[in-house]
């Protein structure tokens, strides 16, 4: 039998009520007592049973959305879509900002948080996939880049992928796009415009930064498909995904003396910062250097020039994630095999690659 709250209390030398207070995040617990109980939880591998809680008292009607940061327009827009999709079900959505910290993501998926929640939609950054199997405590849906290497891409945009997702993500569902394919399409768009010295901005430059391996792989694959060898001078790692990091990457390219006529940025914020830096150096976009981003945030539609980008259909991702979570909460969650769904992306070509339309 899996360890219960009684086992945790016994190991920590506290009452069951005190152990319950720690698990539920009540603040009026002495720090040393909390530390003993947490050590017992970790040692025993205890995971709260939210299903049992729902059977005793019914669902809370609350789900959580956990994202790395809310300052990012992409995650802010995602949060808005999740809230809008959950509202007709009568659900309240609690927004959690994890900062990409693995311990924070781990506790959320395990159900170790102050407020009782029925399920969670999570954009993981710092959590190792194997930990989901060991620490899974509540119904969860992961959002993020679709994993390459599965047999046969789906014929329809939202077909389920017939793979053992549990081996990668644990007993959770997963919704995302094929980021490698999207990155390759963005790069091929630049190649079709005659660009050959294409820089890539956005690979992770530190362990806790958001990884983008699929996007780098797609960029390289598109170059290889055009018979081009990726130039290491043209790949710039960043320490963050904001506008300032995109601008800093351009400064680094120029300081290297790199010869480039296009830039593929792994996020729109990086692209906006890159365009500003190019402007400050007197480089015309797209006359001298074409720029394309990734995520289709609203700001890119109103920048000068407007930003070419990859649209991951954030609204549809949010709708599918909430629907999947609802199926687990209203049905027999244990009987539903882990599902992985791919959502189609779109290339949106705008002025930053095509130039302004002639009047």
Q: Is the peptide bond before 31 cis (omega within 30 degrees of 0)?
A: no
Residue 356 within any structural domain of the chain: no
> Which strands form 119-122's sheet, in the order they lie side by side?
92-97, 62-67, 119-122, 140-143, 173-176, 340-342
Say whether both 209 and 305 belong to one domain. Answer: yes
Please give the pLDDT value at position 113.
59
State whether 281 and 320 are in the same domain: no
User: What number of residues does the chain have?
Assistant: 359
Model confidence at 83: pLDDT above 70? yes
- Residues 149, 63 within the same domain: yes
d(CA 124, CA 142): 7
**pLDDT over threshold 50, residue 170:** no
More confident call, 142 vs 125: 142
Residue range 322-343: mean pLDDT, rounded: 83
Q: Are residues 199 and 117 in the same domain?
A: no
Asked if the structure places residue 246 within a domain, the reply is yes
pLDDT at residue 327 above 50? yes
Please say if the pLDDT value at position 168 is more than 50.
no
Residue 185 forms part of a structural domain: yes
Same-domain pairing of 200 and 281:
yes
Q: Look up the CATH number of the domain holding residue 40.
A: 1.10.260.40
197 and 172: one domain?
Answer: no
> Both 267 and 332 in a single domain?
no
Average pLDDT over residues 209-219: 79
pLDDT at 301 over 50: yes
pLDDT at 244 over 50: yes
pLDDT at 251 (0 to 100): 97
Which comes out higher in pLDDT, residue 228 or 54? Answer: 228
Do residues 185 and 168 both lie within one domain? no
Q: What's the average model confidence in pLDDT over 76-94?
A: 92
Domain contains 320: yes
What pLDDT shows up at residue 60?
73
Is residue 355 a part of any domain in this protein? Answer: no
Q: Quick one: pLDDT at residue 82?
A: 96
Count of structural domains within the chain: 3
Specify the pLDDT at position 105.
78
Predicted local confidence at residue 25, as pLDDT? 65
188 and 65 share a domain? no
Could you tell me if 248 and 288 lie in one domain? yes
- Res 359: pLDDT: 65
Query: pLDDT tier at 148 (50, 70, 90 boundaries)?
Result: very low
**Do 184 and 172 belong together in one domain?**
no
- Mean pLDDT calculated for residue range 226-234: 95
- What's the confidence (pLDDT) of residue 234? 96
Domain holding 336: CATH number?
A: 3.40.50.2300
DSSP state string for 253-322: HHHHT---SEEEESSHHHHHHHHHHHHHTT--TTTT-EEE-SS--GGGGSSSSPPBEEE--HHHHHHHHH
pLDDT value at residue 329: 82
Asked whether residue 106 is domain-assigned, the answer is yes
In the predicted structure, residue 112 carries a pLDDT above the cut 80: no
Is pLDDT at 55 greater than 70 in this prediction? Answer: no
**Structural domain contains residue 273:** yes
Structure pTM? 0.76
Residue 88, in any domain of the structure: yes
Domain that holds residue 227: 179-311
Shared domain for 127 and 214, answered yes or no, is no
């Amino acid at each position: 039998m899996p360890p219960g709250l009684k086992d945790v209390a016994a190991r920590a030398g506290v009452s069951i009520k005190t152990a319950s207070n720690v698990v539920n995040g009540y603040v009026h617990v002495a720090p040393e007592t909390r530390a003993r109980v947490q050590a017992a939880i970790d040692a025993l591998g205890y995971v709260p049973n939210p299903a049992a809680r729902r059977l005793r008292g019914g669902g809370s009607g609350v789900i959580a959305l956990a994202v790395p940061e809310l300052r990012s327009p992409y995650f802010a827009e995602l949060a808005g879509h999740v809230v809008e999709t959950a509202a007709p079900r009568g659900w309240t959505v609690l927004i959690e900002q994890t900062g990409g910290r693995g311990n924070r993501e781990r506790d959320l998926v395990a159900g170790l948080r102050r407020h009782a929640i029925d399920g969670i939609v999570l954009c993981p950054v710092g959590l190792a996939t194997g930990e989901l199997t060991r620490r899974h405590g509540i119904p969860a849906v992961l959002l993020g880049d679709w994993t390459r290497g599965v047999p046969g891409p789906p014929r329809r945009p939202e077909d389920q992928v017939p793979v053992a997702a549990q081996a990668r993500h644990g007993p959770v569902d997963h919704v995302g796009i094929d980021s490698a394919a999207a990155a390759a399409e963005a790069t091929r768009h630049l190649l079709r415009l005659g660009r050959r010295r294409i820089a890539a901005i956005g690979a992770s430059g530190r362990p806790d930064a958001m990884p983008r391996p699929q996007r780098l792989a797609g960029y390289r694959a598109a170059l290889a498909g055009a018979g081009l060898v990726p130039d290491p001078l043209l790949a710039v790692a960043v320490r963050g995904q904001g506008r300032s990091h995109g601008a800093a990457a351009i400064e680094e390219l120029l300081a290297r003396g790199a010869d480039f006529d296009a830039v593929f940025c792994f996020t729109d914020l990086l692209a906006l910062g890159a365009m500003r830096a190019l402007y400050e150096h007197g480089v015309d976009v797209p006359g001298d250097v074409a720029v394309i981003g990734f995520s289709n945030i609203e700001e890119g539609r109103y920048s000068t020039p407007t930003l070419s980008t990859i649209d991951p259909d954030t609204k549809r991702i949010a709708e599918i994630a909430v629907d999947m979570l609802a199926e687990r909460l209203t049905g027999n969650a244990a009987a539903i095999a882990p599902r992985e769904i791919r959502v189609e992306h779109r290339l949106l070509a705008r002025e930053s690659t095509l130039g302004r339309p002639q009047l």
